[in-house]
Amino acid sequence: MESSTLAETLQLERLEVNLFRGRTPDDTPGRIFGGQVIAQSLLAAYETVENRLCHSLHAYFIRPGDPAVPIIFEVDRSRDGGSFTTRRVIAVQHGQQIFNLACSFMAHEDGLEHQTQMPAAPTPESVEDDHEARRRAMEADAAMPEEARKWMLRPRPIEMRSVGGPSFPAVSGPRDPQSQMWFRARDPIGENQRMHQVICAYASDMGLLGTAMRPHGLNWNTRGLQFASLDHAMWFHQPMNFNAWHLYDHDSPSASGGRGFIRGSIFAEDGTLVASVAQEGLMRLRKPK
């Protein structure tokens, strides 16, 4: 059976005027990837909006998603104004909210412009693909369980090239709370700018919490580490082609109270700042019993 593209996987079924159903790929273990729920919630909002593009979204992760059952997305048409359209989306499973999102849309408007300069970074062609780096690490780690090996080496819809290599499965001690990676969608997205935003929103949940872990020498496999995204905000500044390489530049200015805060800037390869991201995540290190 031919595998689906990410754009096809994220598609929703309309149940009612403002009610939609989404599903999770069969290979997702444990809990639903946060980027999927962000992307499908934005797509649900787009199903109720005409002739305007999203310029910002703000979301909260409330409960872990269950990949074994569909997600119901309820869209509240908060306002259709002269300049802005506002929507609120609630994602529900087992009769409970797992996620909610508020987003705003606007027609194109000319105005004052400026942007921060793209930071220095190696070219994407000079950075090793994360999948290849993981494959080599798995070959060198005979103790890695086979199921974990299969999960780490599964095909992924977003191509990623982390500057300095991915932090999992190994890190080499504490590092600065900064990181960079190049990323892009593997499958063609098409001409619809909405889908470029949706898939970029999906990918925007990648690598953020790992940056907050860096000063502490932690990674996803650290024993006793409990982590989860708590909230997520994103601003779209310019049109994008997410089939082309984009630099995702992260920094984590603070960690406290069991939470880590991370900022991200997404630049097109020509230096255009296309989107900004902010996230706070749970980051608890419990002593093994």
The domains found in the chain, sorted by start residue, are 1-108 (3.10.129.10), 129-289 (3.10.129.10)
pLDDT tens sequence across 182-216: 999 999 999 999 999 999 999 999 999 999 999 99
The span from the first CA to the last CA of the chain, in angstroms, equals: 46
* The pLDDT of residue 90: 98
Cα(19)–Cα(167) distance, integer angstroms: 39
Cα(228)–Cα(146) distance, integer angstroms: 24
Alpha helices in the chain (DSSP H): 6-10, 34-46, 130-140, 146-152, 193-203, 208-213
The pTM of the full predicted model, rounded to 2 decimals, is 0.92
What are the residue ranges in the chain where pLDDT is below 70?
1-3, 27-29, 138-154, 167-172, 288-289
Question: What residue type is assigned to position 235 of the chain?
Answer: W
Residue pointed to by tokens 């994360």:
130
Half-sphere exposure at residue 151, Cβ-oriented, CA atoms within 13 angstroms: 12
- CB neighbour class for 212 (10 Å; exposed up to 12, middle 13-18, buried from 19): buried
Question: What residue type is assigned to position 190 of the chain?
Answer: G
Cα(282)–Cα(289) distance, integer angstroms: 21
Q: Which residues are catalytic?
A: 205, 229, 279
